A = this chain, B = another copy of it.
Amino acid sequence: MVQQVKVYQEVLDEIHRLIKEEGIMPGDKLPSERTLATQLNASRSSVREALRAIELLGMIVTRRGEGTYLRDYKSFQVMQLLATFVLQDTQTVENLTEAIELLENFAIEKAKVKIVPSELDELKRIINSNQSDREKHHLFFERIFNYADNQLIFHIWRLMQDFEEGLKTDVKYNYPYERVIMQLE
């Protein structure tokens, strides 16, 4: 039997510690790969394996020549990854449409109690603008989601929008915006 904790796992822990104890905040710079390596008594390769992993998770962003920066990982980029993969095997369009509607209705319900009148004008302006249907839909619900107080659901909704975009080019239109606005009034 061996200790099967891999070095790159330890590096992850260390980075976690850095964030917690050293007070590194989103946007801040992390120590360089070489620095981390010597600090942790690990090779640069191992450090890189760890960094690449959490980069994929969207927790950090690296810029060649500059450095590695902690990111605002509350942006749920993970969801993106998961979605990419989840949608791959399940992706019936109906499922997706239904899911999107579910989230949109959720947003509408939540918005009902919080929305301010001036916002309604803005919504009307959007649906009467001459942008593409897709643009309109996006803008319309983006504003509504502002009142839904749930960033997570909003993110998921956006992801689904993107996917839908990739799947079927049009449709969706004739969305009953007017009815929604009446509900909100």
Contacts and interface: CB of A to CB of B under 8 A. Distances in A.
A80 B24 CA distance: 21
A90 interface: yes
Of A52, A153, A156, most buried by chain B (CB within 10 Å of CB) is A52
Nearest to A155: B86
A50 B56 CA distance: 9
Contacts of A92: 74, 151-152
Q: Which of the four size classes fits the interface of chain A?
A: 35 or more
Interface string A61-101: 00000000000011010110110111111111011101100
Interface of A: 8, 12, 16, 19-20, 45, 48-50, 52-57, 59, 73-74, 76, 78-79, 81-82, 84-92, 94-96, 98-99, 102-103, 106, 150-153, 155-156, 159
